[in-house]
Structure 1
Amino acid sequence: MSTMRIGFIGGGNMASSIIGGLVASGFAAEQIWASDPNADSLNKLLAVAPVNTASDNNALITAVDIVILAVKPQIMKIVAGDIAASVQDRKPLVITIAAGVTSASLDGWLGGNTAIVRCMPNTPALVRSGATGLFANTEVNATQRAQAEQILQAVGLALWVDNEAQLDAVTALSGSGPAYFFLVMEAMQAKGLEMGLSAEVAKQLTLQTALGAAQMALGSDVDAAELRRRVTSPNGTTERAINILQAGGLEALFDQALEGARLRAEELAIELDGE
């Protein structure tokens, strides 16, 4: 990685986060390029690190070995078509973080036979605590896989999936997952307030409890079910709360929710492929 030059097309929050993570992990800012039609976005990136900037995507591609497409899925076809000739000339590794755009569609828009890694990060990547699923097409070699993994590890956990369809499951589980936990936090804080705690106390206790539970689970050699059993004393307060949640069908609701998210990810891919 020390000799690789990385270019970001799109200068939004996720690009800023990855750039910040790369620089924090020791990657040289002068080996990073970024392009965006919005000057404000480029200025925000420069506040993160003194990277090279460009107003033209094709000029960026001529300068780098790895291209990270950090643009919205809805404009990916236009962006890819504009840079296709440069990609065919340079043959860089292309990493995309756009949800719903399949590697086959992107490969076609880029002219074919392109090494593509699709990534599904989540928003905690913005604080370098992300969880990212990765899939490589058949054009990606072992060195390029390692490079893509190292780049995404700069903002958290990065794990490979065996086939591209599994990225829809990643979307449902971790891509959308932060919102599920935010909803639980929201409900807990609201009830804490109703039970007489101040808004600030209810918030801080909820957030610290969520953080502590996650850290316990990450550092434990047993699964979440066993951790739950260990903190659920017979006939105690936790047991009563858990029994109420289970009687209300919490597990079934999560099953339906994640399946709905997975199916919607499939639908979005079909919609975007048809554009």
Structure 2
Amino acid sequence: MQLLKDLGLDVPLCIVFLTTTNKAGTNLHIFIDESGSFVTGTGETSSISTVGALIIPSKSMDDFARLYNRARLKLPKDKGEVKGRLLSERQVGDVANLLYTVGCIFEVVAIDVGLHTLQEVREHRNNQAKAITENLTDAHKPKLKAHVEGLREQLEAMSEQLYVQSTAMNQLIYNTLNHATIYHSFRNPPELASYHWTIDAKSKDGTTSWEDWWSDVVMPMLESRSFKKPFLEIEGGDFSYQKTLPNHHKRTQETVCKKPHERVLL
């Protein structure tokens, strides 16, 4: 699909969150990419980096593809791909109107890394690393303890750049789940049966160590955050397509490039 290439998703890391439901439904398609370097300590007074999620209902995918393929014929390109930096204000407005017409949502998280020092980022990263293992005890199985301690060690060794990006990604996923769920609970409840995430991969040769780490921690981190700040449900919305049957678990299926594999999280 040309949309994927224009979003920079030539080699997508595709993570699909499928929820067992008590109703037949469809699923939301969510495409994620980043813009900017996320590099701190460059001396620049302002340096904006962003991660964004384009959320397209299943029922709108065909219409979106048809309208976008028609619109992109007139959009400026670099090596055959539409680049946002080349678009005029009017062209950006035309694309935004297209998204609005077919019922899409665009969620974005931005950070000005120029406002943060390397020391601040390192301190934030190290505090997060400590939090990963702070509740481990001798009552936990050795294999689990070793795995969690390994995740901490990976985080402690992670570059400041990748840590800032992972933090922005976690915030984006949380915001997307919150806002898209509320939006579609009033408009297209069946779309909430499952969520299909396509995330830009950094390598054409499979996942990087950072992507493996992030894939391991994003779900438990979201779960932990939801205890402190639960996802919203607004009276009048239909959230029934998200309700799981008793004794059924949510399932995560992960496909990386052309090397599919499955990971089941219980």
TM-score (norm 1): 0.22
Structure with the bigger RCO (C-alpha within 8 Å, sep 6+) is 2
The structure whose residues are more often strand, as a share, is 2
TM-score (norm 2): 0.23
The structure whose residues are more often helix, as a share, is 1
